Structure 1
Amino acid sequence: MSWIKTIPFEQATGKLKSLYARVTGPDKNVDNIMLSHSLRPHTMEGHMAIYKYVLHHSGNTLPKWFLEAVGVWVSQLNGCDYCVQHHFAGMKRLLADDARADAIQTAVAHLDIEATPLDPAQHQALRYAQKLTLTPAEMVQADVQALRDVGYEDGEILEINQVSAYFSYANRTVLGLGCSTQGDVIGLSPNNSGDPDDWNHS
């Protein structure tokens, strides 16, 4: 499940046990990415807070399925199959259009922005996410202006930025600790966007 020791749900005590209770899915399943934090529960708490606030918060205005798509794109760029699998499944469920979701997945797998069945503004968001992921030191003000030019407001640009940045963090957590999807229930997410402190997965 990972290259470092983890504490299973059944053996958790104290703070870790209370955190596990907040992130469990069906049958008390805890995703391996969260299990990887078990030796330092405070890092799990931080991870879940930023994940929920960045991707699953009612204050966001961009469609949640598209924020998931940005996450899948960044994860593909980083070679993180774990996050690609989890978040493609979540995106597909939220989009509720299997054919379109599968076409997005195919284009993403080929790193082909233009082939994704998305609108021009969404294509530009993926270009921004790609540059931020692969060559962050080369970002310039014009990259933000390009998002404004296709209609994004600055708050929406911040959403794209934060999702892109979060997924690079999550990808490096997974890749650096050898997390696998073994035992995970793929595609669960904290669906109660109205309560940022509700982390329950379904």
Structure 2
Amino acid sequence: MGAWIRMIPDDEAGPDLREVLDLARTPHGTVDNVMRVHSLRPSTMRGHVILYRAALHDDSNALPTWLQEVVSAWVSTLNACPYSFANHWANAAHLIGDAERADAIRAALDAGQPETVFEGRELAILRYAEKLTLNPGNMVEADVVALRDAGLDDGEILEVNQIVGYFNYANRLLNGLGVTTDGDVIGYYKAT
């Protein structure tokens, strides 16, 4: 476990915290540091788990899961958040399923040039994510219209908005408390 504040291990958790830790467990049976850092305030952990799963792992989301993960990695790149990038890039690369394509996308994100590998709808999503992350006070209706013009419906636009908003929250939580991946299983899809 790694953070600049105390994180309570499972064996020291009281009943209320244990209940929320069980809610936060990954498919690997672990509690990642991004959630455990809330252990001093279980109510914020509960809220975080619910928001995360609704924004990114909800079966009703229409955007392809690989693209949701690329958006997550892009926002985390823009925010210089190594924790979220490590996890969500691992997920994106797994879901892309083509190592050469994944390497090209990673290089484009690292260079801050998604236009070298994306176009149309996907590029419009990444441009929206970039502006909302770096210049949220400059957002205008035309930013949403551009997504519609690229072929997204309003539900998909909301999905993109929620993923971007969630990762801006999570990146600031992680960077602000010095949370590391020490002890975590990296990536949602990693075999146990």
TM range (shorter): over 0.9
Give the CA deviation at 1:26: 7.0
> Is the counterpart of residue 37 in structure 1 residue 38 in structure 2?
yes
Q: Which amino acid aligns with 1:173?
A: L
CA deviation map 1:73-99 (0-9, x unaligned): 001000101100000111122222222
- Alpha-carbon spacing, 1:27–1:49, altered in 2? closer, same or farther (3 Å): closer
Superposition CA RMSD, Å: 1.7
Deviation per residue, 1:119-155 (Å, 9 max, x gap): 4210111000000000001000000011111111111
Asked whether the 8 Å contact 1:9–1:30 carries over to 2, the reply is no
Q: Which residue of 1 aligns with 2:126?
A: 126
Between the aligned residues of both structures, percent identity stands at 47
Task: Name the counterpart of 2:177.
Answer: 177
Cα distance, 1:27 vs. partner? 6.8
Q: Contact between 1:125 and 1:147, CA under 8 Å: does it hold in 2?
A: yes
Matched ranges for 1:13-24 at <5 A: 13-24=14-25
Q: Equivalents in 1 of 2:104, 2:57: separation in Å?
A: 24
Q: Distance in 2 between matches of 1:34 and 1:104?
A: 28
Q: How many residues align?
A: 190
Q: Structure 2: where are the runs of 5+ without partners? A: none
Q: TM-score scaled by structure 1?
A: 0.89
Tell me the amino acid that sits aligned with residue 123 of structure 1. L
Moved more, 128-137 or 8-17: 8-17
Aligned residue in 1 for 2:69: 68
Q: What 5-or-longer segments of structure 1 have no aligned partner?
A: 190-200
Q: Does residue 95 of the first structure (1) align with residue 96 of the second (2)?
A: yes
Other-structure match for 1:194: none
* Residue equivalent to 2:136: 136
CA–CA distance in 2 between the matches of 1:17 and 1:111? Answer: 41
Query: In the superposition, relative to structure 1, how do residues 110 and 135 fare at CA in structure 2: closer, same or farther (>3 Å)?
Result: same
Distance 1:38 1:105 in 2: 33
Name the CA distance, whole Å, in 1 between partners of 2:16 and 2:122: 40
Q: Indicate how the Cα distance of structure 1 residues 27 and 89 shifts in structure 2: closer, same or farther if over 3 A, else same.
A: closer
Aligned-pair distance for 1:28? 4.4
Which amino acid is the alignment partner of residue 91 of structure 2?
A: G
Q: What does residue 158 of structure 1 align with?
A: 158
2-structure distance, mates of 1:129, 1:26 = 28
1:149 matched to 2:178: no
Q: 3-state SS of the aligned residue for 1:37?
A: coil
